[in-house]
């Protein structure tokens, strides 16, 4: 603009006054210099404006990056906090699990010890098992022992004919073997228990009910054991009739299981 004004002034001066050629040339050069400086300043200003815009764009980008990084940092901190809490919870669970494992190990040892004690067989059991090996293998006699209580279970048909209380030959032979082992028993009571099925006694029969039949059969076994040398002071008899079945009385096979004699050996201080 300043060069344009200079040129206009020069033109006006030329038009109104008489100017020497030298003065005119000097003014022309000055106008040209002013014009060049103006162009240079304009270019520099445009360059500065472009640089400012570029810097502003960079600042905006950096602000966005900063916001993104802040968001990521917040998310990471939240995740770290959650991870720390989860880790703490897992550590607590591990502590609890370790305690449970210790308790389980103790319980397992106690269970194994208890099982060993339950399964440990007495000398009377071993003697009876050896004496009655054939009868046990044939299923005529069952032998069991639990917590110091031994039971010899005999099916009634091994000992008695149907409806009878007289011990038959097969039963006498079995009771002789049982008595041989029982004669060595110390500190035990020997209780013979009679059991029946739920079939009622005939009205014209010798026994009013299964109570009497079961007791009579138990007494017959007691006498046989005494006759074979078992100390009578440790012997006793009990009749339970049909009221302690080991199977439902719903078939001939199950009723046969319920008709039985059980010889129970228990500590003298105990009892059924």
Same domain (yes/no): 196, 155: yes
- End position of a domain, from candidates 96, 116, 136: 116
Same domain (yes/no): 102, 135: no
**Within-domain flag for 4:** no
Question: What CATH number is given to the structural domain containing 150?
Answer: 3.30.1330.60
- 95-140, pLDDT tens digit by residue? 988 898 888 888 888 887 666 655 556 777 887 788 888 888 888 8
- 179-193, pLDDT tens digit by residue? 998 888 888 899 999
Task: Supply the pLDDT for residue 272.
Answer: 45
229, 179 Cβ separation under 8 angstroms: yes
- 32-91, pLDDT tens digit by residue? 888 888 888 888 888 888 888 898 899 989 988 898 888 888 888 888 888 888 888 988
- pTM over 0.85? The answer is no
Q: Cα-atom radius of gyration of the chain, to the nearest Å?
A: 58
């Amino acid at each position: 603009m300043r060069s344009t004004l200079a040129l206009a002034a020069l033109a006006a001066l030329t038009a109104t006054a008489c100017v020497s050629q030298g003065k005119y040339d000097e003014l022309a050069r000055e106008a040209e210099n002013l014009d060049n400086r103006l162009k240079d300043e304009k270019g520099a200003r445009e360059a500065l404006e472009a640089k400012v815009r570029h810097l502003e764009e960079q600042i905006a980008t950096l602000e966005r990056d900063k916001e993104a990084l802040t968001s990521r940092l917040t998310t990471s901190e939240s995740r770290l906090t959650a991870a720390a809490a989860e880790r703490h919870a897992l550590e607590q669970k591990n502590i609890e699990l370790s305690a449970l494992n210790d308790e389980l190990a103790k319980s397992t040892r106690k269970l194994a010890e208890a099982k060993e004690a339950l399964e440990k067989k007495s000398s009377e059991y071993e003697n009876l098992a050896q004496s009655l090996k054939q009868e046990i293998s044939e299923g005529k006699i069952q032998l069991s022992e639990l917590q110091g209580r031994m039971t010899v279970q005999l099916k009634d048909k091994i000992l008695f004919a149907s409806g009878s209380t007289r011990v038959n030959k097969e039963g006498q032979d079995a009771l002789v073997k049982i008595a041989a082992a029982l004669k060595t028993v110390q500190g035990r009571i020997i209780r013979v228990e009679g059991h029946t099925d739920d079939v009622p006694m005939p009205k014209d029969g010798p026994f009013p009910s299964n109570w009497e039949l079961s007791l009579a059969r138990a007494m017959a076994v007691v006498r046989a054991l005494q006759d074979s040398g078992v100390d009578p002071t440790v012997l006793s008899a009990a009749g339970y009739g049909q009221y302690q079945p080991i199977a439902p009385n719903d078939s001939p096979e199950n009723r046969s299981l319920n008709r039985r004699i059980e010889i129970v050996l228990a500590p003298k201080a105990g009892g059924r």
